[in-house]
């Protein structure tokens, strides 16, 4: 019986089925509460939906806010192109398109269980791997996000988990095609969610270092390491960059200046760092609405608008160092607590779902730190690539502003670290019990 239960608990197929079922159930429950007309329009009334409609109607990659404002680089093209394909089949801004995109997001989100399972198995064994996959399958944010956002969020989570899995596997491969595939995977990820690019030098650097170490340990004769030891990582990096070149060239031809991936960083920086405050009454900026800034966007155009936003944001940061320190601390708390002032919002929430989301976000972040400590204590070779995700990825959002959606791409790795911490705790308790039993007469 014990073996049967263990087999069921570690069944990846069962975990994926439960993940799909939980997400479908949430989507069905939410959809029946919302009018059909709203489902057909409201989810698309943002940058992704507006750009996709513009492409589908023949206006090109433009108009991110539903008005004829011209070409844009507000987003990278992968997910908007996917939405365009769905619009071509099921219609522009229709409830059928919405449901099909939600279903695709559910598949992306549920598929995260696979790379997390295999990455966890390599790092800490089958028990931790299954625990991490179960955590993701039942993670409230993972269940909600495919329905709540017609965006690249769920796909980015899948790509981040896959990149981790591939990074852990890659150093043992001597085949050039595997390194090329890794580079192409990175290129696709960058063209889907550029914020993942902050992880590229660290993960690729670790994979190259680890591959070099494994290669040296397999040699029976001593000889200097030649250029071939770096040729595969260089090829992977080159392919990742090459995947971004056509989009960057397009942006240069359209805007006449260098826009490598996305253009909207200045606005995001200004939203989180602006002069809308009064030192006499509060210590940090009050809320600034994105809508107010967009009216200026409509008037100035994308290039001039972004240049002005960058000037205002950098000026504020330079002239208000004390305020910036406070803001950065608050954004740190908001990133890991799921919301600004998580304790106050937890107590004030009138929904157990909202409280659960805040609690899960906070506890998972704390447990992830414990997981990193466990890996370092064990001197695991995999400590670095796992720690990179929570250590490096959030910095962009500490500088700008954050939400649960922005953290979501690294949530699978965060939960894997949670499972590692929990596994270490269970192991320690088991050893303590055995030791205590052995001491008894």
71 φ, ψ (degrees, to nearest 5): -55, 155
> Is 298 strand, coil or helix?
helix
Higher pLDDT, 219 or 132: 132
Higher pLDDT, 271 or 133: 133
**Mean pLDDT in residue range 1-14:** 83
Kindly report the average pLDDT of the chain as a whole number.
89
DSSP string computed for 114-168 = HHHHHHHHHHH-HHHHHHHHHHHHH-HHHHHHHHH--SSHHHHHHHHHHHHHHHH
**Mean pLDDT in residue range 184-207:** 97
State how far the Cα of 396 lies from the Cα of 20, in Å rounded to an integer.
31
pLDDT at residue 287, as a whole number? 57
Residue ranges per domain, the chain?
Answer: 171-217+229-259
Distances (CA, A) of 266 to 74, 92, 284, 316, 399: 11, 30, 19, 12, 11
Higher pLDDT, 281 or 195: 195
pLDDT at residue 215, as a whole number? 73
Find the range with the poorest average confidence among 188-197, 199-208, 321-330, 366-375: 321-330
User: Is residue 278 pLDDT above 60, yes or no?
Assistant: no
Contact 20/136 with Cβ under 8 angstroms?
no
pLDDT at residue 283, as a whole number? 46
**Mean pLDDT in residue range 222-230:** 55
**Mean pLDDT in residue range 120-138:** 95
**Mean pLDDT in residue range 59-72:** 91
pLDDT at residue 100, as a whole number? 97
pTM: predicted TM-score of the whole model, two decimal places: 0.92
User: Is residue 282 pLDDT above 50, yes or no?
Assistant: no
pLDDT at residue 339, as a whole number? 81
User: Is residue 281 pLDDT above 50, yes or no?
Assistant: no
* C-beta neighbour count of 229 within 10 angstroms: 14
**Mean pLDDT in residue range 384-388:** 97
User: Is residue 4 pLDDT above 90, yes or no?
Assistant: no
- Candidate ranges 4-18, 161-175, 280-294; pick with highest mean pLDDT: 161-175
pLDDT digits (tens, 9 = 90+) for 231-269: 899 999 999 999 999 999 999 999 999 999 999 999 999
Strand pairing partners for 12? Answer: none
Alpha carbons within 13 A on the beta-carbon side of 6: 6
User: Is residue 285 pLDDT above 60, yes or no?
Assistant: no
pLDDT at residue 28, as a whole number? 96
Indicate the pLDDT class of residue 224, thresholds 50, 70 and 90.
very low
> What one-character DSSP code corresponds to residue 314?
H
**Mean pLDDT in residue range 312-319:** 92
Indicate the pLDDT class of residue 5, thresholds 50, 70 and 90.
confident
pLDDT at residue 440, as a whole number? 66
State how far the Cα of 181 lies from the Cα of 169, in Å rounded to an integer.
12
pLDDT at residue 250, as a whole number? 96
User: Is residue 271 pLDDT above 60, yes or no?
Assistant: yes
pLDDT at residue 288, as a whole number? 62
Find the range with the poorest average confidence among 129-133, 226-230, 324-328, 329-333: 226-230
**Mean pLDDT in residue range 46-63:** 95
Indicate the pLDDT class of residue 78, thresholds 50, 70 and 90.
very high
Positive/negative CA dihedral, 246, 247, 249, 250: positive
**Mean pLDDT in residue range 133-141:** 95
Of 11, 432, 366, 400, the C-alpha closest to 195 is 400
């Amino acid at each position: 019986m014990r073996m049967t239960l263990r087999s069921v608990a570690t069944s990846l197929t069962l975990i994926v089925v439960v993940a799909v079922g939980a997400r479908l159930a949430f989507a069905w429950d939410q959809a029946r509460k919302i009018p059909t007309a709203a489902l057909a329009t409201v989810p698309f009334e943002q940058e992704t939906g507006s750009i996709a409609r513009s492409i589908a109607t023949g206006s090109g990659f433009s108009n991110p806010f539903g008005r004829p404002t011209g070409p844009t680089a507000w987003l990278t093209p992968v997910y908007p192109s996917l939405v365009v394909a769905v619009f071509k089949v099921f219609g522009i801004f229709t409830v059928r398109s919405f449901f099909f995109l939600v279903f695709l997001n559910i598949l992306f989100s549920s598929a995260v269980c696979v790379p997390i399972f295999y990455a966890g198995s390599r790092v800490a064994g089958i028990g931790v791997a299954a625990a991490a996959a179960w955590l993701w399958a039942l993670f409230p944010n993972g269940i909600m996000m495919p329905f709540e956002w017609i965006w690249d969020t769920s796909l980015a989570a899948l790509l981040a988990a896959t990149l981790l899995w591939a990074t852990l596997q890659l150093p043992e491969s001597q085949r050039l095609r595997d390194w090329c595939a890794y580079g192409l995977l990175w290129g696709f990820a960058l063209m889907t969610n550029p914020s993942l690019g902050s992880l590229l030098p660290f993960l690729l650097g670790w994979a190259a270092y680890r591959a070099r170490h494994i290669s040296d340990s397999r040699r029976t004769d001593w000889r200097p390491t030649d250029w071939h030891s770096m040729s595969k990582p260089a090829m992977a990096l080159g392919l990742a960059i090459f995947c971004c070149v056509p989009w960057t060239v397009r942006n240069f031809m359209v805007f006449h200046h260098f826009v490598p991936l996305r253009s909207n960083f200045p606005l995001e920086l200004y939203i989180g760092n602006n002069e809308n405050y009064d030192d006499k009454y509060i210590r940090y900026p009050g809320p600034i609405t994105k809508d107010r800034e967009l009216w200026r966007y409509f008037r100035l155009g994308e290039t001039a608008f972004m240049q002005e936003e960058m000037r205002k944001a950098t000026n504020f940061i330079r002239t208000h160092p004390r305020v910036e320190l406070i803001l950065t601390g608050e954004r740190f708390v908001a990133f890991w607590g799921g919301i600004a002032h998580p304790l106050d919002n937890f107590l004030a929430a009138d929904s157990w779902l909202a409280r659960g989301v805040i609690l899960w976000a906070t506890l998972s972040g704390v447990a992830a730190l414990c997981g990193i400590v466990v890996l370092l204590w064990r001197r695991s070779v995999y400590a670095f690539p796992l720690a990179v995700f929570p250590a490096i990825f959030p910095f962009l959002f500490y500088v700008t502003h954050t939400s649960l959606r922005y953290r979501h791409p690294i949530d699978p790795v965060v939960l894997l670290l949670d499972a590692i911490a929990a596994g270490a705790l269970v192991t320690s308790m088991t050893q303590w019990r055995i030791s205590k039993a052995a001491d008894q007469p």
